[in-house]
Chain A
């Protein structure tokens, strides 16, 4: 399985390098106070979640699946390797966001709590998107699953925009009060969606295993 994760890293190497360049660019803009740190961590998470989907496309191009399923590792491990790769990417995004956040807070350009809350939230969103998309990629292939990625990313934004235009106001002042009174409680609260996304990842993995078990290569 480690070989398969290594394969995903190797075939994504070029994209990873390009993304790293973009991440550093945005990190610098954040440190010099052009962008808000919360925006940048969210942006980076969404950008990196494209990598596992792209890995499906690279595999499809090389017709790798037929070879991988013929290896003596079993279909579940092939699927498991892709999930671990996804987890690795999301953790990488979180680590990067934290580093940027710490720099921003140390230099007095931002608040560490805000960075942590933002990172945990975007990590949960990133994982949730992967939870939904990975089984879709196994079921219908990366090309046909891609529109669902766009829908998952754009529809909530569109929903919030429309709600705002319609005058629906979501009261988030209690979050500010919680941040003032008990920062640890706020962090714990923000970790809940992440734990839920991790739990869903197991469900998603089992669904993907079921899909590949019935698939012909």
Chain B
């Protein structure tokens, strides 16, 4: 099966910030969650994928097509929901369908209207009167209405209430049931990714510092709570990152089970993606 996204050695420098050798693969039938702090390089990576900015090095293929040499073919089956609603306030939902229909060979007007119905979006209401949730649902309807094989979502669920987020996540899970479909989803809301993602890539300061199956990460990584003295006694090779607070210390470990066998006196528990981000973002190496 062709990978829906393949990124090899992607580099992009802005002078004070650079994406360094990004390698990512998104197999069909799966969701890849892209996590990272603000300014870590998630949106820059997505912009490179969409050829919105020039890359300095590397190769990107979308659904088997080179994203620059075969740009139109590469983008033909891609649905996009970016961090904002890009449709003008003075337009109505039905206008969006008319604008986008000629851009996509597979545009399905009936499907677009069915999504508008499903999400409860009035066709004739001005977009400026839509709430943020409604705007994102409109963007999603537009992204899905041409039967895409790949969805690229940049902070698509940011700023939405849990009910709307859940509704949209359900839609993503439905989309992914087809083995040829895949989703690349960047998000700060790590709990959303824990719900739906199959793979996680963590970008930190322009580099991929963690890329693995989500279940592997959550099943193997662990968080150790201990005192400063106990932390000192741990072999530095057994911990990835540490955090020292007023009331104690914490450490992130790669192999929870192995750590528990080696240090039976220390409590090691499951960790979350948010914990891992906090350890990498705010912690230090031992």
List CB contacts (< 8 Å) of A1-37 with chain B.
Answer: 1-4, 6-7, 10-11, 13-14
Q: Count how many chain A residues have C-beta atoms less than 8 Å from C-beta atoms of the other chain.
A: 26
The 8 A CB mask of B42-85 against A (1 = contact, 0 = none) is: 00000100101110000000000000000111111010101010
Contact of B82 with A3 in the complex, beta carbons under 8 Å: no
User: Smallest CB–CB gap between B69 and chain A, Å?
Assistant: 13
Most buried by B among A1, A3, A217: A3
Determine whether the beta carbon of B102 is less than 8 Å from that of A3. yes
B residues 87-117 near A (Cβ < 8 Å) are: 87-91, 95, 98-104
Whether a CB of chain A sits under 8 angstroms from the CB of B247 is: no
Q: Are A216 and B53 in contact (CB under 8 A)?
A: yes
Binds B, one of A68-76, A82-90, A114-122: A68-76
Q: B72 near A73 (CB under 8 angstroms)?
A: yes
Query: What's the minimum C-beta distance from B96 to chain A, rounded to whole angstroms?
Result: 9
Q: Enumerate chain A residues within 8 angstroms of B54, measured Cβ to Cβ.
A: 216
Find the B residue at minimum CB distance from A68: B86
Q: How far is the CB of B62 from chain A (nearest CB, A)?
A: 10
- Shortest Cβ distance from B162 into chain A, in angstroms? 27
Chain B residues lying within 8 Å of A61, measured Cβ to Cβ, are: 88-89
Residues of B within 8 Å of A73, CB to CB, are: 72, 103
> Residue on B with the closest CB to A12?
B90
**How many A-B residue pairs lie within 8 Å, measured between CB atoms?**
78
Main secondary structure of the interface of A (DSSP, over half): helix
In the assembled complex, which residues on chain A have CB atoms less than 8 Å from the CB atom of B75?
70-72
List chain A residues, Cβ under 8 A from B74.
Answer: 72
**Nearest A residue to B75 by beta-carbon distance?**
A72
Does A63 belong to the interface (CB within 8 Å)?
Answer: yes
Shortest C-beta distance, B272 to chain A (Å), equals: 32
Taking a contact as CB atoms closer than 8 A, the residue among B82, B86, B88, B103 that contacts A72 in the complex is B103
Answer whether residue A64 sits at the interface, using C-beta atoms and an 8 A cutoff: yes
Interface string of A124-166 (1 = CB under 8 A from B): 0000000000000000000000000000000000000000000
Nearest Cβ distance between residue A76 and chain B, in whole angstroms? Answer: 11
Decide if B87 touches A62 in the complex (CB within 8 Å).
yes
Chain B hits for A7, CB < 8 A: 88, 91, 95, 99
Decide: A72 near B72, CB < 8 A? Known: A66-B82, A217-B53: yes
Using Cβ atoms and an 8 Å threshold, which residues of chain B touch A174?
none
Q: Are B90 and A13 interface neighbours, CB within 8 A? A: yes
Q: Contact at A10–B90, with CB atoms within 8 Å?
A: yes
Chain A's nearest CB lies how many Å from the CB of B266? 49
Set of chain B residues within 8 Å of A74, measured between Cβ atoms: 71-72
How many Å lie between the Cα of A58 and that of B89 in the bound state? 9
Cβ of A3 and Cβ of B86 under 8 Å apart?
no
Q: Are B101 and A3 closer than 8 Å at their CB atoms?
A: yes
Pairwise interchain contact B80-A70, C-beta atoms closer than 8 A:
yes
Q: Shortest distance in angstroms between B77's beta carbon and chain A's nearest beta carbon? A: 9
Closest-by-CB residue of A relative to B73 is A72
Within the complex, the shortest CB–CB distance from B83 to chain A, in Å, comes to 10
Flag B170-193 by CB within 8 Å of A: 1 or 0 each: 000000000000000000000000
Give the contacting residue for B52; candidates A13, A58, A70; CB below 8 A.
A70
Is the beta-carbon distance between A69 and B100 smaller than 8 angstroms? no
Question: Closest CB-CB distance, B105 to chain A, in whole Å?
Answer: 8
Q: Which residue of A lies closest to B54 (CB)?
A: A216
- Provide the residues of chain B in CB contact with A58, threshold 8 Å: 88, 90
Q: How far is the CA of A72 from the CA of B76 in the complex (A)?
A: 5
Residues of chain B touching chain A, judged by Cβ–Cβ distance below 8 Å, are 47, 50, 52-54, 71-76, 78, 80, 82, 84, 86-91, 95, 98-104
A-B contact pairs, 18 of them (CB 8 A): A3-B98, A3-B100, A3-B101, A6-B95, A7-B88, A7-B95, A7-B99, A10-B90, A10-B91, A11-B88, A14-B90, A62-B89, A64-B88, A67-B86, A70-B52, A70-B82, A72-B75, A217-B52
The 3 nearest A-B residue pairs measured at CB: A67-B86, A72-B75, A3-B102
Q: A58-B88, A72-B73 are in contact. List 16 more A-B contacts (CB 8 A).
A: A2-B102, A3-B98, A3-B102, A4-B103, A7-B88, A7-B95, A11-B88, A66-B86, A67-B80, A67-B82, A70-B50, A70-B52, A71-B103, A73-B103, A74-B71, A216-B54
